Amino acid sequence: MENNEDLILRVEKISKSFKDVHAVDDLSFHIRKGEIYGLLGPNGAGKTTTIKLILGLLEPEAGDISVLGLHPQKDELELKAKIGYVSEEPLIYKSLTPKELFNFIASIRKLEGESATSKLAQYLESLSAVEYYERLISTLSRGNKQKIQIIAAILHDPEILILDEPLTGLDAKSVKVVKEILELHTKRGGAVLFSTHIMEIAEDICDRIGIINQGKMVAEGTMETLKHKVSAMDEDMDLEDIFLRLTEQDNSINEIVEKLRKTMNS
């Protein structure tokens, strides 16, 4: 019998369609305490929809989701305190400064005292965000908005971080820092679910990876398992090769490039 005590997230055969598009199709996976789980898939594969279902922002037509033993929609308020979420879109609180946003978060999450203040100061410093702390969020660059969103998601020490392409738009140093933050978060017993298109990062920090295509899980496991799955072909495959192979995009790239060459040279 499997030990379910450490289970943080359980997604069981969920489906969600938009008219005739099967955005998520009979998808199952789980995440345990201390794990970093990476969701990979081409554009339109269903990553954001899956994340929104887990957060209770959408309702599945079929299947079950349990986050820390709770139901995403029925236990929405209780879960909000336990989840940190970074959305795909940049921050929406455009008429606030980061300082006002963090004060607002501190008041709704009841984060007070010196430890919360020093934690915030440390996050701001580590992501080089101190200098625009009091500027309007609407005036910040895309990457800097993203950093503020990441800090806002971790400030209340959630048990699970759910991040939809958290590294998009970040500079190299910030990617490193965020990577460190995710690893430290799991070392203290948290869990991370994130979607990404950056293969090196997924290969580097994920304990397990789920590759989805057209709403379905096409392969799942550690880097080792994934390599094994396609190992009949090539020993030296990195995650990018595995990903393209499993989502059946590897051959089409050559064809596309060939056609483009003809079009653009004519």
Ligand X SMILES: Nc1ncnc2c1ncn2[C@@H]1O[C@H](COP(=O)(O)OP(=O)(O)OP(=O)(O)O)[C@@H](O)[C@H]1O
Which residues of this chain interact with ligand X, rule CB under 6 A? Answer: 18, 21, 23, 41, 43-49, 88
User: What minimum distance in Å lies between the beta carbon of 243 and ligand X?
Assistant: 12
Specify whether the CB–CB gap between 111 and 123 falls below 8 A: no
Output 88 or 100, the one with its CB closest to Mg ion: 88
Output 66 or 213, the one with its CB closest to ligand X: 213
Output 48 or 97, the one with its CB closest to Mg ion: 48
From Mg ion, ligand X, none, interface partner of 43 (C-beta below 5 to 8 A by class): ligand X
From Mg ion, ligand X, none, interface partner of 46 (C-beta below 5 to 8 A by class): ligand X
Output 32 or 216, the one with its CB closest to ligand X: 216
Burial 126-154 (b: 16+ CB within 10 A, else e): bbebeebeeeebeebeebbbbbbbbbbbb
User: What minimum distance in Å lies between the beta carbon of 46 and Mg ion?
Assistant: 8
Specify whether the CB–CB gap between 158 and 190 falls below 8 A: yes
From ligand X, Mg ion, none, interface partner of 95 (C-beta below 5 to 8 A by class): none
Output 41 or 158, the one with its CB closest to ligand X: 41
Residue with nearest beta carbon to Mg ion: 48
User: What minimum distance in Å lies between the beta carbon of 21 and ligand X?
Assistant: 5
Q: Which residues are at the interface with Mg ion (CB under 5 A)? A: 47-48, 88
User: What minimum distance in Å lies between the beta carbon of 220 and Mg ion?
Assistant: 19
Output 129 or 175, the one with its CB closest to ligand X: 175
Those residues with Cβ within 8 angstroms of residue 186's Cβ, 6 or more apart along the chain or in another chain: 34, 35, 36, 192
User: What minimum distance in Å lies between the beta carbon of 146 and Mg ion?
Assistant: 14
For residue 123, count CB atoms less than 10 angstroms from its CB and return exposed for 0-12, middle for 13-18, buried for 19 or more: buried
From Mg ion, ligand X, none, interface partner of 218 (C-beta below 5 to 8 A by class): none
User: What minimum distance in Å lies between the beta carbon of 195 and ligand X?
Assistant: 7
